[in-house]
């Protein structure tokens, strides 16, 4: 069987390599780590998570919950490792990031059909089937090679932000409490309340805090789903209270009432020794992060094991360049997967790698393609990034707005979404997905 080159061993590349290998197709997986690292990566492991450790909601009434279940039914490596190394996070699927990445690496390296080749890829191979899954931190040399592949086209850049991590023992639990919103699931979040007076002081300092230098970064270009907290705060005094500091459904056990604002912390490792400040992606200077975030009473003595950082993110003008199989239009031997295609998020990146690999395997086997329908989350994402009617293309998380509505009324949003998910899984069940 003809071998396939997969470039990048992040979530999308690892998933693509796995899906090809389990179908008997030899894979050469090229990864520049550990020979060359990026500013956001710290380990040699594949599938390293550089932002949050959460893969977001695991509920079927949520589109990303549906996407996860579809991937599980596609025998996803990433979902298998995530389920094995999850940490409690209420209705969300969060993972012990190091155990998760280590498991992916071990399973990839032990597969007899996968050969790992370390070292930076600086040019696109001139022959053979290639899946480029180099991720949002594509190296400068490979980025230039990709831009040469598409002369005259728009090749876009934007920036992502990662939230700080603090130790559990440094959180003042006299000023905080464990709970999940509306008491759904187990009480896995640490909730740090602020009074209106405390919030006003915090907000004023936040909007005037000094930012680290980030060349080319502008507020208008920030992707809405991963917006730095200071950028969000500058949009208005109450913006954070309707976003990451929303107190709705969180009653302080000391008062029996909802606070004016609540900062939530989510477990970042299985041991519960490290917590992520939810929604606090930032590119403030490190000293400013400690100064301003210490104004949150429960974090007044917080110990930071990682400050928030900004990093570059690169993506294609995919509707003009890629088809529904993530293939380059007119050069079908070349495929892309992951955030570079404009799918935004860990699970979405995984889904793109799975689809690209499944379709490539079918083609190499001489079979008809599996057309994931728009009724499925996997199909809806692929059809969005290849939709040539989308003029001003921006990265997209999976959402029910990308999936056709039911055509009949169902009372209640959650019930309606559950019906959409049920229909999606029924449609997925009709596809020939097994090797």
> How distant is the alpha carbon of residue 138 from its chain centre?
16
435 in Cβ contact with 358 (< 8 Å): no
Q: How distant, in Å, are the alpha carbons of 78, 153, 246 from that of 330?
A: 30, 14, 48
Q: Is 9 annotated as a binding residue?
A: yes
SS3 255: coil
State the pairing for strand pair 129-132/331-336. parallel
First to last CA, the chain: 14
Alpha helices in 329-376 (DSSP H): 346-364
Which of 140, 143, 15, 150 has its CA nearest to residue 70?
15
Q: Is 10 annotated as a binding residue?
A: yes
DSSP string for residues in 16-60 = HHHHHHTTT--EEEEE-TTTS--TT--SS-TT---S-SEEEE--T
Q: Is 11 annotated as a binding residue?
A: yes
State the pairing for strand pair 274-277/261-267. antiparallel
Q: Which helix (H) or strand (E) holds 64?
A: helix 63-73
Which of 38, 8, 45 has its CA nearest to residue 121?
8
166 in Cβ contact with 68 (< 8 Å): no
Q: Is 8 annotated as a binding residue?
A: yes
Residue 294's contacts (CB-CB under 8 Å, 6 or more residues apart) are: 300, 301, 302
For residues 172 and 300, give the distance between their C-alpha atoms in angstroms, rounded to a whole number. Answer: 8
> How distant is the alpha carbon of residue 20 from its chain centre?
22
Binding site for FAD, by residue number, is 8-13
Q: Which residues are annotated as a binding site?
A: 8-13
């Amino acid at each position: 069987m003809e071998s396939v080159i997969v470039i990048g061993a992040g979530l999308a590349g690892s998933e693509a390599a796995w899906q090809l290998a389990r179908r008997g197709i030899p894979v050469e997986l090229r990864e520049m780590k550990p020979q060359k690292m990026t500013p956001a990566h710290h380990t040699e492991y594949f599938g390293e998570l550089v932002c949050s450790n959460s893969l977001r909601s695991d509920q079927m009434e949520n589109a990303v919950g549906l996407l996860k279940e579809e991937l599980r039914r596609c025998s996803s490596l990433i979902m298998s490792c995530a389920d094995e190394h999850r940490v409690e996070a209420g209705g969300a699927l969060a993972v012990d990031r190091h155990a998760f990445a280590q498991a992916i690496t071990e399973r990839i390296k032990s597969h007899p059909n996968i050969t790992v080749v370390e070292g930076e890829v600086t040019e696109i191979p001139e022959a053979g089937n290639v899946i480029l899954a180099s991720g949002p931190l594509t190296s400068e040399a490979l980025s230039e090679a990709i831009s040469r592949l598409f002369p005259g086209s728009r090749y876009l850049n934007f920036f992502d932000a990662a939230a700080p991590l603090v130790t559990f023992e440094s959180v003042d639990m006299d000023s905080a409490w464990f709970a999940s919103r509306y008491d759904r699931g187990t009480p896995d979040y640490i909730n740090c309340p602020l009074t209106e007076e405390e919030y006003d002081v915090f907000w004023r300092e936040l909007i005037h805090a000094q930012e680290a230098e980030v060349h080319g970064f502008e507020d208008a270009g920030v992707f809405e789903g991963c917006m730095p907290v200071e950028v969000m705060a500058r949009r208005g005094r109450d913006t954070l209270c309707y976003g990451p500091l929303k107190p709705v459904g969180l009653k302080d056990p000391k008062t029996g009432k909802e606070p004016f604002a609540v900062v939530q912390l989510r477990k970042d490792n299985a041991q519960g020794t490290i917590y992520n400040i939810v929604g606090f992606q930032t590119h403030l200077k490190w000293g400013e992060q400690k100064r301003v975030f210490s104004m949150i009473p429960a974090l007044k003595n917080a110990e930071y094991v990682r400050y928030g950082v900004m990093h570059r993110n690169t993506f294609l003008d995919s509707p003009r360049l890629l088809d529904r199989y993530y293939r380059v239009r007119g050069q079908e031997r070349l495929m892309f997967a992951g955030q570079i295609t404009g799918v935004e998020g860990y699970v979405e990146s995984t889904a793109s790698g799975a689809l690209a690999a499944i379709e490539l395997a079918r083609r190499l086997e001489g079979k008809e393609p599996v057309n994931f329908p728009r009724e499925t989350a996997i199909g809806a994402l692929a059809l969005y990034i290849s939709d040539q009617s989308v003029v001003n293309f921006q990265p997209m998380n999976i959402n029910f707005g990308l999936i056709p509505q039911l055509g009949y009324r169902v009372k209640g949003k959650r019930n309606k979404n559950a019906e959409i998910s049920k229909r999606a899984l029924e449609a997925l069940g009709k596809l020939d997905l097994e090797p």
